[in-house]
Amino acid sequence: MGRMPNHDVRNDGIGPYAVFYCEKCSREYRSKPNVVGTMAKDIGRDAIGGALRGIPLFGHALADNVAGEDPRYITHLTPQQVDEAWAQVKENFRECPTCLQVCCLNDWDNVSGFCKDDSPRTAEIAEAEGAQAAGVIKGFADVFGLGAAVKGATEAAQRAAASTAKCSKCGAIAAAGTKFCPECGGTMIQPAAAKCSKCGAETMGAKFCPNCGAPVAAAPTKCKNCGADLKGAKFCPECGTKAG
């Protein structure tokens, strides 16, 4: 870890401590205050202060000067103390070699060694996080009896996705017919044009043909010969077998 992230110093009445922030999501990681040191200094202050304050005329001023700052109210740390505080929490941070931001593990792709925003696996990560979120939503929906509504919404989203173009480089989506990615300039993969088996019209992801009303059979997703993912192709990209 080459750089310390943004931080500040706080005190809840038991001594100062440092708070370090993720530069991506602002998540906080706190060091531990030196509670033992605060208590020891507190006891010393009371003992010294009590003895000195008994001296006529100058006792109170002398006691305040000798006892020093009360650690219960200090809101600053020396550079050495900040370094010690950073040593306590730095295992929770990584520095991205691309954007140079220091982020927490929640925003870090450990496989690629980049933050999630700059990872070459951005599309894969987004897909995995989307699947995880969908699973959580389905679980809540089943508990509250909303499974059918969520299923309908999911199917509608899948039909919409089937009618959009997807970037071959970063995974961004755009309207069908878009040739180049609006995010990175990569080549867009166009959606497979599903056609009605009865009249030949494009079905555009619908369950029934918008031209003649015939039911649309779901296109196979796996090759019947070798089991490879067809990715909407009419012929298997692995063995050349015709889909269907």
Look at residue 200 in the predicted model and tell me its pLDDT. 76
The tens digit of pLDDT for each residue in 202-240 reads 766 667 787 888 887 655 667 777 777 766 666 777 777
> Residue ranges per domain, the chain?
7-115, 122-189, 192-244
Q: What is the DSSP string of the chain?
A: ------EEEEESSS-EEEEEE-TTT--EEEPPP-HHHHHHHHHHHHHHHHHHTTSTTTHHHHHHHHH---TTS-----HHHHHHHHHHHGGGEEE-TTT--EEEGGGEETTTTEETTT-TTHHHHHHHHHHHHHHHHHHHHHHTT-HHHHHHHHHHHHHHHHTEEEETTT--EEETT--B-TTT-PBEEPPP--B-TTT--B-TT-SB-TTT-PBPPPPPSB-TTT--B-TT-SB-TTT-PBP-
Q: For residue 24, which amino acid is it?
A: K
Q: How confident is the model at residue 70 (pLDDT cuts 50, 70, 90)?
A: low
Give the model confidence (pLDDT) of 152-182 as tens digits.
Answer: 666 666 566 666 788 888 878 888 778 898 8
pLDDT of 125 higher than 50: yes
Helix (H) or strand (E) holding 16: strand 16-21
Rounded to two decimals, the pTM is 0.45
Overall average pLDDT of the 29-37 stretch: 80
* Residues pairing with 166 in the sheet: 173, 189
Question: Of residues 65 and 125, which shows the higher confidence score?
Answer: 125
Q: How confident is the model at residue 15 (pLDDT cuts 50, 70, 90)?
A: confident
- The label of the residue with tokens 């706080």 reads 10
| The most confident of 27-31, 53-57, 58-62, 71-75, by mean pLDDT | 27-31
